[in-house]
Chains A and B, each alone.
Chain A
Amino acid sequence: MARNENSVFYGVDRVTLIVYVLLVIMGWLNIYAAVYNEEHQNIFDTTQKYGKQLIWIGGAAVIAFSILLIDANFYTAFAYGFYGFFLLLNILVLFLGKEIKGSHSWFKFGSAGLQPAEFMKFATGLALAKFLSNQNIIVNQQFRLRLKDLIKNYKNTVFALLFIVVPLVLIIKLQNETGLAIVFIAYIIVLYREGLSVGFLIFGLLTAILFVMALVVTSISGLLITLAVIAASAFLFIKRSRKNLIIVTLVLIAASGVVLTTNYVYNHLEDHQKVRIDVLLGRGTVDLKKEGYNVNQAKIAIGSGGFLGKGYLQGTQTKYDFVPEQDTDFIFCTVGEEWGFAGSTVVIFLELFLILRVIFLAERQRSDFSRIYGYGVASVLFFHLAVNIGMTIGLMPVIGIPLPFFSYGGSSLWSFTILLFIFIKLDSNRLLILR
């Protein structure tokens, strides 16, 4: 950006920066529209959410600037430090934090609040990058089944997974913040990029599919047929060696296990989570006035936008509170209603463009650390994008996670800003140092 090597902006990818700024401004304008109210028309009114968001944006700018100001080596050197620090905060919040709606994830400072879990995202990205970029560590690439090999070869994989699973479990189980926790799954994509066996992914995917099938197909015979089809196709497509036979048998046993435990798992979910799964899968009768309300209203708001939308501030569905959480998790409804299909496409493309840009930048890194971290950034952003928009259009269960840079809220905006700008900083240094 700046030619002067001493400038803060030296080497900063201006494309990423512009898209970031665009998204933040668009988000702010849409928050204004979502909570628009004729008595408070001033967009700078800090008693209103749009006014507050402006303060958060100012804060984000300061944070971004600070990140760029700090030496890039700081992030690599203290990667584990960040991880440990924020993990500690996440544990402390259980005791020192305030309980809000059954969630133990908030530190309260007066009227402002902070969720340490939000910052766990970038800390995990850093730690994972540090761990995986260690020259001696290889994520195993093969899917072997001998126990000896398993322990030997998958030790590192298991370690890497632990970086992800620990905060996930901590946040989901103890803090009771499913939305924040589930995001850590995105880091699996990073592991995949760094060599995680496809077998793992297929196994995971298969488990998910079977889980859904077991919930949707209620008859036992239907499930047996599904299992039979899997077995048959395995026999058809895999060479019939003794080893493969064992694999298929094990897979089938595992699959049966999933199917049989599905109801157990489902029954041990929280009620609202059950309902969200039911709504998504269309199980049973969904009352659009109760459990199905959010998704239905979100769809109505977006669907009523048409191709070009109703125009800025003209949305009736979001403005009059038909859509819940219209300024935070369901901010995309305002976009859909007021800007229509055209506007929605622009927003999604901008988000996607940012993510692809990050991948592009990550791939040009000479340092493994930077690349891995970059993929972490892209994966986390994409996970948010996919789940957030997916739930508003009824393709994902309702999980309360924000749309990156768009949704109202200081914690999420700051956390995304830190996440992205650390990478921008690493990228700006790519020519200087080989890490």
Chain B
Amino acid sequence: MSTNPQLANRKLIIGGFFCLIVVIYLCRLFYIQVIDPQYKLDAEKNAFRYMTEYPVRGYIYDRKGKLLVFNAPSYDLMVIPRETKGCDTIGVCEVLQITKQEYLKRMKRACQAPNSPRKESIFEKQMSAQTYAALQEKLYRFKGFFVQKRTVRKYPKPIAAHLLGYVGEIGKEQAEKDPYYKEGDYIGITGLERSYEDMLRGKKGTQIAITDVHNKIIGRYMEGKYDTLAIAGKPLYCTIDRDLQEYGEKLMQGKKGAIVAIEPSTGEILCLVSGPSYDPNLLVGGKERSKNFTKLYYDSLNRPLFNRALTAMYPPGSIFKLIDALIAQNDGLINRNTTFPCQMGYPPMGGKPKCHAHGGGKNLTGSIAASCNSYYSYVFREIVDQRKYPKFIDGYNHWRETVKTFGPGTRLGTDLPYDKPGNVPSVEYYNKVFGKNGWRSNTIVSLGIGQAELTLVPLQMANVVATIANRGYYLTPHSIKGVGIERKLDARFKAKHYVAVQDQTAYLNVIDGMQGALEPGGTAFTNRLKGIVVCGKTGTAQNPHGDDHAVFLAFAPRENPKIAIACIVENAGFGNTWSAPIVTLMIEKYLNGKTERPEVEKRMLEGDLITKNNKKDALKIKHH
């Protein structure tokens, strides 16, 4: 048979066939080993477990080093679904006090994308200390479960919620955008927590562990050569005075409004009170957090999450007269002795805007102290219609631009997120409302007394008074002294911003007028302080939402001012009734460390305007 020539070449066919198969195999091997990268990536996922070590978030201190925010340990119960075989399921349900359905629901969620049965995911967020303690004993029976330690924010005093902001779980979209975060991580959502997130958060550490097929950790990859340690977040040194903030919040209890105090020489925000507020400890923790947040979020009557100090745009009312007085003097239109008539109102327009009985035509300082509406109607029209500008529109624009250098109309650029710009209406706006050529300076005369479309946020009000205290400049209000041990501060908070009015006599006259406001005949005489020269200005802002807002701003002491402060209390009436007492109490507290007017303090602390106004509103609705 071997001699059969037909069969002789079959050895070649067989050999060739063997070789062919081997060549095919080698091609395939070359493809999966050298060309296709997918398998290498898969292998990495297979064998490594990247374990995150969460850093400690930076503490926040007040200007005197008192603690505002610290961290408390928190425990998340994690699960790797694939490893839960033989787990005491009922035990888990009992400890967490959940139903079996809930257990299965969570387990399903842990298995579905983006989670995976092979990877850990959160089963129960931020367990209470009791739950954790109960769990700890039984954890050995809960196969596939383990506890991940993290930290949550804690606040030694229930204050400054709006300023500090809160920390919460990062949104899905944001997590996808920023490679630092992964879903379930925490991030500063508002306030300082948001502004200084980068510094506060620190740096996550990663440990690369080698796992076997059961996802059991066998050891560290390359003896930990590629591991990174978590770096703790940097401490934040706040400009806030904790005691002042706390006192301000007490005074604002039962009131809507805001108090903002600034140290004029530095632009440091001393307190930022928005009422009604809430206890920041409410927005910490797992289940409780979302429950509390929902409650706060849907409180449409009080809107406690609304940061009025930065975002509520109020008509400034009479306090705006200070700016008018400064501009008119700077333009050489009036001086200390200029008087304008007042007949319980502005005479050229038939007594509108109205004024109050303050005893005849006042000079400049008197007009500030007594807050004469007529005087500033004159002053406003003097500025807008001044000869220098043949067209009144140019005069108006001059006024507007000058006002804007004080802050109103643009965002101040503070380090707190979400501040609003307020509004100084533009020529275009009035052209739209009244038609081109359809308006004159008398049409908009109420701007001169801080009414009409003019709005400021409380922070801007405080900035205006700080500018006056500094006699012509301000530093961008900011809320931190510095980050980290070196107390690094952005250079933009050290630059002086000079406003368009630099006439020092003008400032002197206005400050004299402000001092006069707390002297006999002044609008805030009843709130004068013993031993401290306070320069202030009352405001009573008419608004379309109900009773007038009470506004007061002041700085003290007159020489070398330490504090510039603005306060607005919504629907409270005259500035002197509610806002001036609060401001002067705050000044006393800040400068002396104590207050000496117990009866005023008592009235402020106990005054519950919210309930009162709500009752009034309810009555009104009944009448209609």
Contacts and interface: CB of A to CB of B under 8 A. Distances in A.
Report whether chain A binds chain B: yes
Interface of A: 138, 141, 189, 192-195, 289, 297, 299-307, 316-317, 320-322, 336, 340-341, 344-345, 348-349, 352, 355-356, 359, 363, 368, 371, 375, 378, 382, 385-386, 389-390, 393-395
Given A195-B4, A303-B39, A317 B46 contact: yes
B316 to A, nearest CB: 67
Contacts of B24: 395
B7 A303 contact: no
Given A300-B43, A368-B1, 14 more contacts: A193-B7, A302-B32, A303-B42, A307-B33, A320-B213, A341-B30, A344-B29, A352-B18, A355-B18, A359-B11, A359-B18, A371-B2, A382-B21, A395-B28
B7 A195 contact: yes
Nearest to B22: A352
Contact of B21 (A194, A300, A316, A386): A386
A299 B43 CA distance: 10
B43 A301 contact: yes
A340 B39 CA distance: 13
Give the most central of B7, B32, B218: most A CB within 10 Å. B32
Nearest to B26: A345
A302 B33 contact: yes
28 contacts: A189-B14, A192-B14, A194-B7, A301-B43, A302-B32, A302-B33, A304-B42, A304-B44, A306-B40, A316-B43, A316-B47, A320-B212, A320-B213, A322-B47, A322-B212, A322-B213, A336-B29, A344-B33, A345-B26, A345-B29, A348-B22, A352-B19, A355-B18, A356-B19, A368-B2, A385-B22, A389-B25, A393-B29
B130 interface: no
**Smallest CB-CB A-B distances: 10 pairs:** A303-B39, A304-B43, A316-B47, A320-B212, A303-B32, A321-B213, A341-B33, A300-B42, A322-B213, A304-B40
A302 B25 contact: no
B39 to A, nearest CB: 2
A316 B22 contact: no
Interface of B: 1-2, 4, 6-7, 10-11, 14-15, 18-19, 21-22, 24-26, 28-30, 32-34, 36, 38-40, 42-44, 46-48, 117, 210-214, 218
Q: Main secondary structure on chain B at its contact with chain A?
A: helix
Contacts of A363: 11
Contacts of A195: 1, 4, 7
B46 A303 contact: no
B14 A359 contact: yes
B18 A305 contact: no
Contacts of B10: 192-193
A198 to B, nearest CB: 9
Give the most central of A189, A316, A395: most B CB within 10 Å. A316
Nearest to A390: B25
A404 to B, nearest CB: 13
Contacts of A355: 18
Nearest to B221: A316
B6 A316 contact: no
Contact of A306 (B4, B7, B25, B34): B34
Given A141-B6, A341-B34, A356 B15 contact: yes
Nearest to A341: B33
B439 to A, nearest CB: 73
Nearest to A367: B2
A366 to B, nearest CB: 9
Given A195-B1, A341-B30, A393-B29, A304 B39 contact: yes
Give the most central of A195, A305, A320: most B CB within 10 Å. A320
Nearest to A293: B213
Contacts of B2: 368, 371
Nearest to A351: B22
Contacts of B38: 303
B42 to A, nearest CB: 5
B39 A300 contact: yes
Contact of A320 (B6, B33, B210): B210
A193 B11 contact: yes
B34 to A, nearest CB: 5
A188 to B, nearest CB: 11
Give the most central of A192, A301, A352: most B CB within 10 Å. A352
Contacts of A340: 33
Nearest to A349: B22
Contacts of A302: 29, 32-33, 39
B11 A194 contact: no
A307 B34 contact: yes
